[in-house]
Amino acid sequence: MEPAAAIKKFQEFLDKHYLTELAEKSRKGEKFIIIDFGKLSMFDPELADSLFDEPEDILKAGELAIEQFELEGDLKNFKIRISNLPESMEIMIKDIRSEHLNKYLYIVGLVRQKSDVRPQVISARFECPSCGNVITILQLDQKFREPDRCGCGRKGKFRTLSKELVDAQKIVLEEAPEDLEGGEQPKRMDIFLKSDLVSPLSEKKTNPGSKVLVYGILKEVPIPAKEGGKLTRFDLMVEANYVEPMQEDFMEFKIDPEEEKKIFELAADPKIFQKLLDSLAPTIYGHDKIKEALILQIMGGVRKKRQKGSTLRGDIHVLLIGDPGAGKSQLLKRVAQVVPKARYVSGKGASGAGLTATVVKDEFIRGYALEAGVLVLANRGLCCIDELDKMTKEDRSAMHEALEQQTITISKANIHATLRSETTVLAAANPKFGRFDPYEVLAKQIDLPSTLINRFDLIFPIKDLPDTANDEKLAAFVLNLHKDSNDIKSAIDTDFLKKYFAYARQNAHPVLTEAALQEIKAYYVKMRGSGSESEGGVKAIPISARQLEALVRLAEASAKVRLAKTVEVEDSQRAIDLVHYCLSQIGLDPHTGKFDIDRIGSGVTASERGHISVIKEMINELESKGIKPIKLEDIFIEAAAKGIAEDKVIEVIEKLKRSGDIYEPRKGYVSRI
CATH classification at residue 212: 2.40.50.140
Greater pLDDT, 539 or 403:
403
> Is 279 in the same domain as 317?
yes
CATH classification at residue 27: 3.30.1640.10
Highest-pLDDT range among 109-123, 353-367, 503-517, 631-645: 503-517
Tell me what the mean pLDDT of segment 123-147 comes to. Answer: 80
Tell me what the mean pLDDT of segment 201-223 comes to. Answer: 78
Q: Checking phi first, is residue 294 left (phi over 0); if not, alpha (psi -120 to 50) or beta? A: alpha
Instruction: Tell me which residue of 175, 490, 564 sits closest to 337, measured CA to CA.
Output: 490
Tell me what the mean pLDDT of segment 350-367 comes to. Answer: 73
One-letter amino acid of 618? M
Residue 597 covered by a domain: no
- Asked if 462 and 328 count as a contact pair (C-beta separation under 8 A), the reply is yes
Q: Taking the alpha carbons of 287, 293, 294, 295 in that order, is the dihedral positive or negative?
A: positive
Q: What is the pLDDT of residue 93?
A: 85
Alpha helices in 342-432 (DSSP H): 352-355, 374-377, 393-397, 399-404
Range of the structural domain that residue 14 is part of: 3-84
Instruction: Tell me which residue of 303, 291, 581 sits closest to 424, measured CA to CA.
Output: 303
CATH classification at residue 622: 1.10.10.10
> Is 471 in the same domain as 523?
no
> Is 150 in the same domain as 215?
yes
Q: What is the pLDDT of residue 201?
A: 64
> Is 359 in the same domain as 503?
yes
Residue 595 covered by a domain: no
> Is 99 in the same domain as 176?
yes
Tell me what the mean pLDDT of segment 483-488 comes to. Answer: 69
Whether the predicted pLDDT of 587 surpasses 70? no
DSSP string for residues in 348-398:
GG--HHHHSEEEEEETTTTEEEEEE-HHHHTTTSEEEEE-GGGS-HHHHHT
Whether the predicted pLDDT of 250 surpasses 60? no
Whether the predicted pLDDT of 255 surpasses 80? no
Report how far residue 280's alpha carbon sits from residue 296's, in angstroms, rounded to the nearest whole number: 11
Whether the predicted pLDDT of 52 surpasses 50? yes
Highest-pLDDT range among 46-60, 72-86, 196-210, 238-252: 46-60
CATH classification at residue 487: 3.40.50.300
Report how far residue 367's alpha carbon sits from residue 50's, in angstroms, rounded to the nearest whole number: 40
- Confidence tier at 565 by pLDDT (50, 70, 90): confident
> Is 340 in the same domain as 463?
yes
> Is 242 in the same domain as 279?
no
Going through 398-494 in order, the beta strands assigned E by DSSP cover 407-412, 415-420, 424-429, 458-462
Whether the predicted pLDDT of 364 surpasses 80? no
Residue 437 covered by a domain: yes
Tell me what the mean pLDDT of segment 383-403 comes to. Answer: 82
- Confidence tier at 400 by pLDDT (50, 70, 90): confident
CB neighbour list of residue 227: distance below 8 Å, 6 or more residues apart:
none
Report how far residue 382's alpha carbon sits from residue 294's, in angstroms, rounded to the nearest whole number: 11
Least confident piece of the model among 102-116, 301-315, 359-373, 593-607: 593-607
How confident is the prediction for the chain on average, in pLDDT?
80
Residue 592 covered by a domain: no
Report how far residue 209's alpha carbon sits from residue 231's, in angstroms, rounded to the nearest whole number: 33
Residue 599 covered by a domain: no
Q: For the full predicted model, state whether its pTM sits above 0.85.
A: no
Whether the predicted pLDDT of 601 surpasses 70? no
> Is 114 in the same domain as 67?
no
- The last residue of a domain, from among 59, 84, 109: 84
Residue 479 covered by a domain: yes
Whether the predicted pLDDT of 251 surpasses 80? no
Q: What percent of the chain shows pLDDT beyond 70?
A: 88
Tell me what the mean pLDDT of segment 352-356 comes to. Answer: 78
> Is 536 in the same domain as 619?
no
Highest-pLDDT range among 112-126, 194-208, 483-497: 112-126
Residue 593 covered by a domain: no
- With H, G, I as helix, E, B as strand and everything else as coil, classify residue 403: helix
Q: Give me the torsion for CA of 317, 322, 325, 326, rounded to 10°.
A: -70
Whether the predicted pLDDT of 605 surpasses 50? yes
- The last residue of a domain, from among 247, 280, 302: 247
One-letter amino acid of 71? L
> Is 648 in the same domain as 528?
no
Q: What is the pLDDT of residue 536?
A: 42
- In this predicted model, what pLDDT tens digit does every residue of 612-653 receive, in sequence order? 788 888 888 887 777 778 888 888 888 888 777 787 888 888
> Is 375 in the same domain as 465?
yes
Tell me what the mean pLDDT of segment 90-109 comes to. Answer: 87
Number of domains, the chain: 5
- In this predicted model, what pLDDT tens digit does every residue of 493-552 receive, in sequence order? 777 888 888 888 878 888 888 998 998 889 888 887 765 444 444 455 566 777 888 889
Angle of helix 606-624 relative to helix 646-659, nearest 10 degrees, comes to 80
Instruction: Tell me which residue of 552, 489, 560 sits closest to 520, measured CA to CA.
Output: 552
- The last residue of a domain, from among 221, 247, 273: 247
Q: What is the pLDDT of residue 247?
A: 58
Report how far residue 635's alpha carbon sits from residue 441's, in angstroms, rounded to the nearest whole number: 26
Residue 601 covered by a domain: no
Greater pLDDT, 113 or 516:
516
> Is 201 in the same domain as 66?
no
Q: What is the total residue count of the chain?
A: 673
